Chain A
Amino acid sequence: MSTIKMTVNGKSVSAEVEDRTLLVNLLRDTLNLTGTHVGCDTSQCGACIVHIDGKAVKSCTVLVGQANGANITTIEGIARGDELHPMQAAFRDNHGLQCGYCTPGMIMSAIDIVNRHHGDLDEQTVRHELEGNICRCTGYHNIVKSVLDAAGRMKVAQAAE
């Protein structure tokens, strides 16, 4: 057992857990943040993606000890109160989800993609960058549209700040 201390969605948390605990299990089972999903559990599908110190990472393949002291952001931590994050809003407006299972991972990945490319994205780049996130419903078409739409919105939002 170890004491794990981290910042999750801006709040300091501390938990006493077994060393073999995966980050995704700490988030879901201990902290009740069940927005982060477990899909394949083999680091292929991306449903479990969260940000560790700003980087989109598959939390089913991270031991809690590796994330000890880190700053974690999950899907629950990106809206500002009632105001959706621009990426969430774009997914809603563009019908970027069907069953919704992959969506939290898609959105966390997509925010990282927009940040890394400073909002300068085209369709081909988005499709390439999303290769670590699997969706079995949409055929990706509206997901790509959502990310491109959000890239524009995030640029505008950043410029306004």
Chain B
Amino acid sequence: MYETIYHRPTSLADAAALFAKAGDATYLAGGHTLIPVMKQRLAAPSDVIDLGRIKDLIGIEVTGDALIIKAATTYYDITQSAEAKRAIPAIVHLTTVLGDPAVRYRGTIGGSLANNDPAADYPAAVLALDATITTNTREIKAADFFQGLMSTALQPGEIITAVSFPIPAKAAYSKMRHPASRFALTAVFVAKTKSGEVRVAATGASSSGVMRVPAIEQALTANWSASALDGITVSSDGLMEDIHGSAAYRANLIKVMAQRAVADAG
């Protein structure tokens, strides 16, 4: 790892000010992506600004029709949240199949979203539930936030402060985990909003990151059941192909994971 200067601000304003002052700063949340990347010398920020101790960024609440998870809330705290379990159990389930226990103590929802790994879990929930991402300067809709592989609408220095998930009528997440990395080989989040709209998002599949699956959304809009997807073929165009699976394999996994998720959602 190259030399760097570590900062631990206690307020959002201090964090943003440190970023503006530094030459080439980066924000640190749980650090379980950033630190490995720095160790490999693929990133060499002049300054690392730790967001993990900013109290305003930690917490979970239900307001009206939304579950709001503040950005520096750890995966572990999400798995322990009775409010999250009551509001959107699928998000708690997603969190329990993410990483391993030691990783879940450190990782944060905001860190995962800002990184936008193409096989990360939370982007699927955010896109399927049409969540709103709040930053220190504005609100960003899910559809505008994800902009391809490891790329988001965040501007330099902008900090995610919270994610607001509208509470759906039904939702579930089904994941084929890579047994070593525990990332999604392909995973699907299905949701039916309270107004009846069906939204389906797949992660781990597309080479440009999280994606919606219109063919599955249409079939489930007509008939919300696993068997409604029996005759569906998901196109393998643009899907990832690597040593773990071909694009066609991932296309089929999207369908199978969607079927399992619908069955789980009831």
Q: Measuring CB to CB, which residues of chain A are less than 8 angstroms from any residue of chain B?
A: 2, 18-20, 22, 41-44, 46, 49, 55-58, 61-66, 68, 109, 112-113, 116, 129, 131-132
Contacts and interface: CB of A to CB of B under 8 A. Distances in A.
Contacts of B48: 19, 63, 65
A4 B239 CA distance: 46
A62 B102 contact: no
A41 B99 CA distance: 16
A61 B101 contact: no
Interface residues on B, range: 20 to 34
A80 B50 CA distance: 35
B181 interface: yes
Nearest 7 A/B pairs, CB to CB:
A132-B100, A65-B6, A19-B6, A55-B105, A20-B1, A132-B102, A131-B100
Most buried by A among B2, B39, B100: B100
A57 B36 contact: no
Contact of B101 (A42, A63, A66, A112): A112
Interface of B: 1-6, 8, 28, 31-32, 35-36, 38-39, 48, 50, 52, 76, 99-103, 105-106, 180-182
B103 A58 contact: yes
A131 to B, nearest CB: 5
A23 to B, nearest CB: 10
Given A18-B3, A20-B3, A66-B52, A109 B32 contact: no
B14 to A, nearest CB: 15
B3 A43 contact: no
Contact of A132 (B1, B8, B38, B99): B99
Given A19-B3, A61-B106, A63-B28, 5 more contacts: A20-B6, A43-B32, A55-B76, A62-B35, A109-B102
B2 A62 contact: no
Nearest to A2: B6
B5 A19 contact: yes
9 contacts: A20-B6, A20-B38, A42-B36, A43-B32, A46-B100, A56-B102, A58-B32, A58-B106, A112-B101
